[in-house]
Amino acid sequence: MSKTLFEKIIDRELPATIVYEDELCVAFRDINPGAPTHILLVPRQPMVKLSDAEPSDQALLGHLMLTAPKIAAAEGYGDAFRLVVNNGAAAGQSVFHLHLHILAGRPMKWPPG
């Protein structure tokens, strides 16, 4: 099976503006931003979508949720950000490697979809 775009970024086979990384995840700027700050937070471990997660993935998913606010704060947004996960093509997922969108820098409207 071929690597996803995000796996190639994680493996440094494709360029990206990486803003954070640790042993479990990598965060980089979206090339088609939906907000002034739009960062994608991806686990190093391949997972197609959130609904594919297993109970054994709980620590990884928790790590992602705790890492997103740290990244937003480092970008200067404190607790003023939106976190989005698109699950499946019908929900707008276009790269099939779980990723969280960290959006900030403009007023967010509700509902988002």
Which range marks the domain in which residue 53 is found?
5-104
What CATH number is given to the structural domain containing 35?
3.30.428.10
Going by pLDDT thresholds of 50, 70 and 90, the confidence category of residue 113 is: low
* Residue 10 domain-assigned (yes or no): yes
* Residue 113 domain-assigned (yes or no): no
Catalytic residue (choose from 38, 63, 97, 99): 99
Q: Residue 14: pLDDT above 70?
A: yes
CB contact at 8 A, 104 and 19: no
What is the structure's pLDDT at 26?
98
- Asked if residue 111 has a cis previous peptide bond (ω within 30° of 0), the answer is yes
- In whole angstroms, what is the distance from residue 45 CA to residue 49 CA? 12
* Residue 110 domain-assigned (yes or no): no
99 is catalytic: yes
What is the structure's pLDDT at 106?
94
How many structural domains comprise the chain? 1
pTM as predicted: 0.94
Tell me: the pLDDT tens digits for 28-86? 999 999 999 999 999 999 999 999 999 999 999 999 999 999 999 999 998 899 999 99
